[in-house]
Amino acid sequence: MTPAPATPAAPLNVEALRKDFPLLTRTVHDRPIVYLDSASSALQPQTVITAMARYYETTHANVHRGVYATAEESTHLYEQARIVAGRFVGAPDPEHEIVFTKNTTESLNLVAHSWGRTNLAAGDAILLTEMEHHANIVPWLMLAEEVGLEVRYIPVDGEGRLDLDELDTLVSGVKLVGLSAMSNVLGTINPLAELTAVAHRAGAVVVADGAQLVPHVPVDVAALGVDFIAFSAHKMMGPTGIGVLWGRAELLDAMPPFLGGGGMILDVKLDSFRSAPPPARFEAGTPPIAEAVGLTAAIEYLNEIGMDRIRAHELALTGHALARLDEKLGPDCHVFGPPAGEDRGGVISIAYRDVHAHDLAQVLDQFGVCVRPGHHCAKPLMRKLGVQATARASLSLFSDEHDIEVLIEGLVEAGRLFG
């Protein structure tokens, strides 16, 4: 029997959704704000702001050892956030597999410091990609310098995809593969499940940077097959100051602490200590409690809309944006990354004529448009692309076709001013 076709995701009512975000009511330089910088930090809906304010107004107390009512409430909210975050990415055992950190960068440093120092030795090889954010390069380079590792890279091809022609050779003998799930410069969505399967056949552990993918695409860690994945609340409608690391329970169990102090121990003597089991082992000190409450509210907001609908909206809008940029600006506007399609997210990095990215961003600001100029913490990739910087516009669930038109209006003016 032929399976019934999948029901298309219902379109988003963007006009209604925009009312959920207080900051979108602002004007900048007498223009309505056009927020196209979600790849850096997404806006928060009112439900997130309210949830955090309510926590501070009614509940605030430190977690875990307190026995009074508000302390127990605070502990419940914090631990509930762990379950909510784990379920959002399909974690089999969120209670034991979700570690809260400061951000994606700290999560990846945790893996490099704890798993890496325990399992990698002089002469071992690791494999990264040329499109990695510094957060998934620098910790490994630090470890390589300290231990004496061989660092290999999967190259990026002319369309902004990974060149996998030599993958079997590159992965041979490596002990760890570090992969961006979605490039924060190119918008490329990498074939993570395929790459992970190859890595596992070679005996390697896979750590994925999910900072750009998790907020925009339905993610299931079991389907991806990765061993670790890291992401940040502030890129998914939540607050700054809290990141999430999911790791396989057996790997976390075998890893030593990342930081020492209160909360991560079972016992301490003057000459020794015993670590608590994960995840407490990796959460020394007072954790980001209010931020965990905000993360819960953000995930509930995304779940209520539906990640499949968010992905469908952003996929269609990305295709529209690329087509309009080409139609209105032609060869003067170079967009880095793959063409519109299933392996592309809503990150649009632009070089326009010979106008410097920072000049583009400053002109766009006069139109109320928020974009991010710079190297986007991906200097090796910038060198590969042959540029020092790009102006990056990034889409979200509240972005619409009008935003794209204002972006183009600002780019045309930049071309006039600097042309």
* Residues labelled as active-site residues: 377
Q: What tokens does 100 get?
A: 């809260």
Q: How many other C-beta atoms are found inside a 10 Å radius of the C-beta of residue 227?
A: 23
DSSP type of residue 344: B
Q: Are 317 and 400 in contact (CB under 8 A)?
A: yes
How buried is 72 (Cβ within 10 angstroms: 0-12 exposed, 13-18 middle, 19+ buried)?
A: middle
Q: At 133, is the secondary structure helix, strand, or coil?
A: coil
Rounded alpha-carbon distances, angstroms, from residue 82 to 18, 91, 139, 215, 282: 28, 10, 25, 16, 14
Q: How far is the C-alpha of 386 from the C-alpha of 305, rounded, in Å?
A: 39
Q: Look at the chain and count its residues.
A: 419
Residues whose CB falls within 8 Å of the CB of residue 140, separated by 6 or more in sequence, listed in order: 112, 116, 126, 128, 149, 151, 176, 178
Q: At 201, is the secondary structure helix, strand, or coil?
A: helix
Q: How far is the C-alpha of 196 from the C-alpha of 18, rounded, in Å?
A: 37
Q: How far is the C-alpha of 332 from the C-alpha of 278, rounded, in Å?
A: 52
